[in-house]
A and B are shown apart, each in its own frame.
Chain A
């Protein structure tokens, strides 16, 4: 495989990873929204739409690169039981953190345009995670082990 083909392959793989995370977030927000009410539910609905738009962007990028975008799973296993507002909010944080981490994977590719795209795309989910968590974090998307002193 040539260096260029390899770079493209890693870019495609990273974009597919981000797409998979967006699919999971779209599914997850359906669960989150069902457990929230009033303002929080409207918030979840708005974020659900944001993830759909991000999914569409990623799919369009992949099609442009001549590959078939990863499909969403028909269902996802939740990491814990979502039974009320607190667990719904906890799931929302997890979903957003997962999306941030997936875009951070795009930043690691060699293509500068993709790097920039990934770095910019990290910001909306990082901000949404802050809304749900109620506080900021120092290193969105980074594993704790690489950033702890």
Chain B
């Protein structure tokens, strides 16, 4: 029986043609599809944050905003479920990235908040319809982006009619 001495191991490796264990490298880079998905997740988190703020600041808006917020929470759940967590990178569970790096200030009036929400929704729709996002996704993920974008486009319409009602006092 061969003893497991360093000499024996070297001999075994030489005879088997094995070059020994590979050097460990860092985690593989996050794919561009995952990066885009993470951006979509962050965009939903941002929307949820601002809706929550607006509802807390202007209770009269709650009946209008609550169903839209619930839909954003559903969007977030579906998008997050598609993220295959890459090694070393956790799915963010809090707002992490606003354009410019700072959370926006809630508008000073309820009407202003509606306009602000509408603009945020419009920006989210535009991001989801970006050709690089849609084109770089698998068919089923592209469908999810398109469906979320269509939902958010209906939010824009809902918020627009709310702004108009508020302006005409009806």
Residues of A that sit less than 8 Å from B by CB: 100, 104, 107-110, 112, 115-116, 118-120, 122-123, 126-127, 130, 135-142, 147, 149
Contact = CB atoms under 8 A, between A and B. Distances in A.
Contact of B146 (A110, A118, A130, A147): A118
Given A112-B131, A115-B135, A119-B134, 13 more contacts: A104-B143, A107-B139, A119-B129, A119-B145, A122-B149, A123-B149, A130-B158, A136-B154, A136-B158, A137-B151, A139-B75, A141-B147, A147-B74
A10 to B, nearest CB: 10
Contacts of B115: none
Given A107-B134, A116-B134, A126-B153, A138 B146 contact: no
12 contacts: A100-B150, A104-B143, A112-B131, A119-B145, A119-B146, A120-B129, A126-B154, A136-B68, A139-B75, A140-B150, A140-B154, A149-B77
Contacts of B145: 119
B67 interface: yes
B150 to A, nearest CB: 4
Interface in B111-135: 128-129, 131, 134-135
Given A136-B68, A139-B78, A127 B131 contact: no
Q: 4 shortest A-B CB distances, which residue pairs?
A: A112-B135, A119-B146, A108-B139, A138-B71
A92 B154 CA distance: 17
B8 to A, nearest CB: 53
> What is the predominant secondary structure among interface residues of chain B facing chain A?
helix
Contact of A139 (B70, B74, B129, B139): B74
Contacts of A138: 70-71, 74-75, 151
B61 interface: no
A107 B146 contact: yes
Contacts of B140: 108
Contacts of B163: none
A116 B155 CA distance: 20
B153 A112 contact: no
